[in-house]
Amino acid sequence: MASRPPSARASSSVRTQKTKQLSSGGRRVVGKAKRSGTGWGGWALGGWLLLVLWLSVEYARLPDVSTLRTQTPRTTALMAQRAEEASEAGKEPRVRQVWVSLGAVAPHVVDAVLVSEDARFYQHEGVDWTEVENALEQSVREARLGRGASTLTQQLAKNLYLSTDRSLLRKGKELLLARRLEDALSKQRILALYLNVVEWGDGVYGIEAAAREHFGTSARALSVAQGAMLAGMLPAPRRWLPAQRPEALRTRASVIIGRLEREGRISGAQARDAQAELSRFFGVPPSAGPIAEANARQPAGS
């Protein structure tokens, strides 16, 4: 049998070596891919464990909120922040606050705050995931950041213990504190604390001080329209002041009155009287029809 010429044998040898190299290279690529995948999985697991560890440590370091069952806080983190801001601006810190029981607040005012800030207050356990989902859907639909989704309990946690910064770490602590508040306190106690510490203007804290500051009356004597205006101030309590008659406040208060009527918290006659009082207060003709709720969803800030 005739043998292949040397050139053919050399060519075959080269092809064999190339095949081995390609095969070896392929195994190395696959091996790198596997190692890379394992590396990413390890990073993900490590990140998750670090998050769990951070949450555990932060939860253990959270303040003991059980004392709030019977004691009222002498000051809050928000008050301290506002005092520091005033001092840095060369101003004297201003604090107006009068503690009152929940029974000393007109029921329609409490209802106005609830329908404005946390309509599902009695259904959630600190975080309203339904509202969070709705807010996210609105943001995606409108391609911009929509309304906030913080519950009354979360707002209380922020006011009592945290600051107004918008960091993710602060938000994480807020969620943990809200859960702890809900575990330790009754809904009525949480509501009473909120109404007594929330900000209602420069140096004005709590519903009683707000009623006296903005309307010269007590929280028990506030009208439906006045209660709606105070509730409408909450997204921007240092900017939407009744004395300045901002259109955003009139819009929000009108919407709140409409919600109170729809939910049966006030009668039709009360709603009409409140809308008329609102129009007189702002010096505008009575609205020809209901104001769209979308108009009331304006960016909050203070």
Q: Is residue 44 part of a domain?
A: no
Q: Exposure of 168 by Cβ count < 10 A (0-12 exposed, 13-18 middle, 19+ buried)?
A: exposed
Q: Exposure of 257 by Cβ count < 10 A (0-12 exposed, 13-18 middle, 19+ buried)?
A: buried
Structure token pair of residue 238: 């240092």
DSSP summary character for residue 120: T
Q: Is residue 24 part of a domain?
A: no
Q: Exposure of 118 by Cβ count < 10 A (0-12 exposed, 13-18 middle, 19+ buried)?
A: buried
Q: Is residue 50 part of a domain?
A: no
- What values do phi and psi take at 95, rounded to 5? -135, 120
The Cα angle at residue 187 between residues 73 and 176, in degrees rounded to 5: 70
**Number of independent structural domains in the chain:** 1
pLDDT in tens, 32-82: 444 445 567 778 777 777 766 766 676 667 888 999 999 999 999 999 999
Q: Per-residue confidence at 299, pLDDT binned at 50, 70, 90?
A: very low
CA distance 301 to 56: 31
The predicted structure's pLDDT at residue 286:
75
Least confident of 12-16, 139-143, 173-177: 12-16
205 DSSP β-pair partners: 97, 199
Q: Is residue 70 part of a domain?
A: yes
The answer to whether 236 touches 228, Cβ cutoff 8 Å, is no
Q: Is residue 128 part of a domain?
A: yes
pLDDT in tens, 239-295: 999 999 999 999 999 999 999 999 999 999 999 999 999 999 999 987 644 454 444
Structure token pair of residue 216: 């010269």
Q: Is residue 251 part of a domain?
A: yes
pTM: predicted TM-score of the whole model, two decimal places: 0.76
Query: Residue 158: which domain range?
Result: 63-296
The answer to whether 126 touches 182, Cβ cutoff 8 Å, is yes
Q: Is the pLDDT of residue 166 over 90?
A: no
Return the CATH number at 160. Answer: 1.10.3810.10
Q: Is the pLDDT of residue 121 over 50?
A: yes
User: Of all helices (H) and strands (E), which one includes residue 96?
Assistant: strand 96-97
Q: Is the pLDDT of residue 20 over 90?
A: no
Q: Per-residue confidence at 129, pLDDT binned at 50, 70, 90?
A: confident
CA distance 13 to 6: 10
Least confident of 6-15, 217-226, 264-273: 6-15
Q: Is residue 5 part of a domain?
A: no
CA distance 82 to 200: 13
Q: Is residue 17 part of a domain?
A: no
